[in-house]
Structure 1
């Protein structure tokens, strides 16, 4: 028989409107295999609480709070609370999180507080009535769907990375990027590359991660996409680039759906290089320029035969003021140069830990970011180095 420990109402409240007691753990608690614990009161975790098995659930009709000096780590996690569970400290899930009712809420101004899904951890049941209202994180995962949203709606972000992320984190904001509530500065939607026509002032996502990744985001009626584009064929994903302090295109596929609902995917990019991400509308007049660069069709074979010995991007001739960064499949920067004129021949220029640096980089797929400053254009793509 499963052993179940319930924190009963005698521990919960002094009155019907406010909770004044809590379960305090100083390091002497553990949930054993197939054990269950149901929290109907606050949790203060000031000790080790990370070797748990079984199920930990947060239940009831009153708001609950998780706080303390250390993050608790549960195996299976569940929420069925008609209000919410506020996280004042991080909370870890090792296996599965079951969303039934109520939100896990984090303060978006305190980015070190989140619901963290550890390696191989998953979630199910998230929806408008149960999700993470704030930051969700993923540790040691390559592909993950962040079950994030705001008070009223689930607005997930799907991340597919080129390698395992040691740590990635995401939150959704239903607010104007020109006046964000949880950031020290604004993200002026009029400061953008010429290739971008308009930028959403309705919503945005914050995604953190150091590995090149593709993302997918969706829209609904509240996104007001019809005010941004007349046709979803013109819709794209844009991001506020930290290095240039402006909005740039994140490329990607055509949107699927209609003006009321649908989803769209990006090209590969490194999330940590962008503050926030949202929807944008691109000018068609720049399409001929962008089509000149095919991010999937660069081959570098530095064997001295005079063919593809260097990374040659003809469009850099049109913009002498440019910059390029090249990253390996793990997100490590291996090459960086301003005013690039075809100097990359398979050797690293950075001081990062590159094995056998003097012999050149290993064969394989690399990711690049090219900025053409004279044309107000930015591109991302892949190259294949073959020795």
Structure 2
């Protein structure tokens, strides 16, 4: 009751403009364990940045956040039918929980975003709730950008060599030859000899000043089969700002099938490229495809862990495991049979202590000692 009294007092200080918007012209603050729900627009013309507790966006109507100053929320959850539209940046200091409804920002303006500072993270992003526009980070080295479009969640996983002062990302389900929000085009015919074709269906925009690798997933809508029938030929390419051509971004062999899978790049500087998408390599890539595996972590000492005997040849290795949406759920350097159905990465995994849900997962392992990369599938039966 005490927290509710504090919040009501602050709302009087902020002032209500009829029932169409909450206009904050003062100093609005949510104390620890406090909760505030928005069923209407927020016009933030005052201070709203020293918050604890939870801010929720709820209801059947579109909710707009605007104003002269950027609000900062500790925890936020989005449970809307028509989404939340950002006309200025919103900072998430702790957790953004996506439930239903997108958080949208103008794709023509990367300076307006759902921003995650140093300790910010997100959970629950999916096809029905994500960022349709720009998501950004500050003071982070690695991050899964919860971006997509009206229909699909299309995350980009960034892993940088150093902490990024600022990094931004958005997804575009558009033909890069005729992008609607750019003054220039990214001609898919302008490509190097080691790339045979470039996707004309989608691309990502990623800004960042630090050398980084990215991991992207494709789905059935990506139509990878129009690029190649050989998954090992799927690569990532970037539109070079210097040469105005697509460039091969390197990386290990991709993993998956024609309907879902994951591609990983070598290290590059995101700011050197205006767009990133899928392509088909014109040259064969060295990889080793092993058997599929079954993991049943039920304590019977049979298939309780992912065990790959070939890794004995290369103690210096790197294991990555992805779910069917292309989101990384496990990452281990010098893997020695640790995976037993639990995630070890800091991303959107829900109910982490209960283990990952049953289903098909992809894995990519780099064997540094012998200079090989191999890939495959595993089925997790975590019931």
Mark yes or no: TM-score above 0.5: yes
Aligned to 1:117: 116
1:155 shift after superposition: 0.1
SS at match of 1:148: coil
The alignment's C-alpha RMSD in Å is 1.9
1:27 shift after superposition: 2.8
Aligned to 1:86: 85
Question: Structure 1 residues 234, 34: CA separation in 2 closer, same or farther (over 3 Å shift)?
Answer: same
Q: Distance in 2 between matches of 1:179 and 1:270?
A: 25
Contact 1:37 1:55 in 2 (8 A): yes
Question: Structure 1 residues 12, 199: CA separation in 2 closer, same or farther (over 3 Å shift)?
Answer: farther
Q: Distance in 1 between matches of 2:236 and 2:268?
A: 11
1:192 shift after superposition: 1.2
User: C-alpha offsets along residues 313-341 of structure 1, whole Å, 9 cap, x if unaligned?
Assistant: xxxxxxxxxxxxxxxxxxxxxxxxxxxxx
1:28 shift after superposition: 2.0
1:284 shift after superposition: 1.6
Say if 2:216 is the partner of 1:217.
Answer: yes
Say if 2:63 is the partner of 1:64.
Answer: yes
Aligned to 1:141: 140
1:112 shift after superposition: 1.2
SS at match of 1:252: coil
Report 1:306-345 matches (<5 A).
none
1:13 shift after superposition: 11
Aligned to 1:198: 197
User: C-alpha offsets along residues 245-297 of structure 1, whole Å, 9 cap, x if unaligned?
Assistant: 10000001111110110111100000000000000111127x79xxxxxxxxx
Q: Distance in 1 between matches of 2:26 and 2:55?
A: 16
1:195 shift after superposition: 1.2
1:110 shift after superposition: 1.6
The higher radius of gyration belongs to 1
Aligned to 1:76: 75
1:214 shift after superposition: 0.7
Contact 1:12 1:40 in 2 (8 A): no
With the length of structure 1 as denominator, give the TM-score of the two structures. Answer: 0.70
Q: Which sections of structure 2, spanning at least 5 residues, go unmatched?
A: 287-383
Q: Distance in 1 between matches of 2:21 and 2:80?
A: 16
1:3 shift after superposition: 2.8
SS at match of 2:246: strand
Contact 1:31 1:37 in 2 (8 A): yes
Aligned to 1:232: 231
Q: Distance in 2 between matches of 1:237 and 1:214?
A: 11
With the length of structure 2 as denominator, give the TM-score of the two structures. Answer: 0.70
Aligned pair count reads 279
Q: Distance in 2 between matches of 1:127 and 1:150?
A: 11
Contact 2:16 2:23 in 1 (8 A): no
Aligned to 1:373: none
Aligned to 2:247: 248
User: C-alpha offsets along residues 14-67 of structure 1, whole Å, 9 cap, x if unaligned?
Assistant: 9xxxxx721001132111111111000000011221111111111000001000
User: C-alpha offsets along residues 199-251 of structure 1, whole Å, 9 cap, x if unaligned?
Assistant: 00010000000000011000000000000111111110000000111000000
Q: Which sections of structure 1, spanning at least 5 residues, go unmatched?
A: 15-19, 289-387
1:12 shift after superposition: 9.8
Which 4+ residue blocks in structure 1 deviate beyond 3 angstroms?
4-7, 11-14
Question: Structure 1 residues 2, 246: CA separation in 2 closer, same or farther (over 3 Å shift)?
Answer: farther
Contact 1:145 1:158 in 2 (8 A): yes
Say if 2:290 is the partner of 1:283.
Answer: no
Say if 2:7 is the partner of 1:3.
Answer: no
